[in-house]
Amino acid sequence: MPIQPGDRIPEAVLQYIDDGVRKINAAELFAHRRMVLFAVPGAFTPTCSQRHLPGYVEHFDAFKQRGIEVACMAVNDPFVMQAWGKDQHVPAGLRLLADGNGDFTRALGMTFDASGYGMGIRSKRFALYADDGIVRGLWVEAPGELRVSAADAVLARLPD
């Protein structure tokens, strides 16, 4: 069953690049902070690169002004996420997290099979808002859409 509002963020290891490959436990990452995590099916894919991530880059300061941290996750390796961040001019502070084996995505119940596209198991496109590790909002896209998890849509639903 997919994660729901009221559920605690599960434990799973994510990776990112910061002077080398670093690992972080997702439950620890979300603890003691307000955070939006948005997930994309894949770095460098069309909708993810042309609309989804750019929306969060554009609205990053609005999230910061509300005291909300932002992270992007994909079932990709940390080197791909780092290269994508550079390509997309991601500002410092917007975390790009790699879920290389899809462990966190599985723990959230957000996988989908993209094998028909040669991509294997990937994350559904979604956004969630968590406060101190508890999910308070979850917006999962219908296949092929980008509406409810877009930055402006998420900002409109967040508490002040």
In this structure, what are the phi and psi dihedrals at residue 69, rounded to the nearest 5 degrees? -80, 155
Written as six digits, the tokens of 18 are: 């910061």
- Give me the catalytic one of 48, 71, 81, 110: 48
Catalytic annotation present for 48: yes
Burial bucket for residue 56 (CB in 10 Å: 0-12, 13-18, 19+)? buried
Residue bearing tokens 């119940």: 109
CA 90/CA 86 separation, integer angstroms: 6
Distances in Å between the alpha carbon of 37 and those of 109, 115, 133? 15, 24, 11
User: Hey, which residues are catalytic here?
Assistant: 48
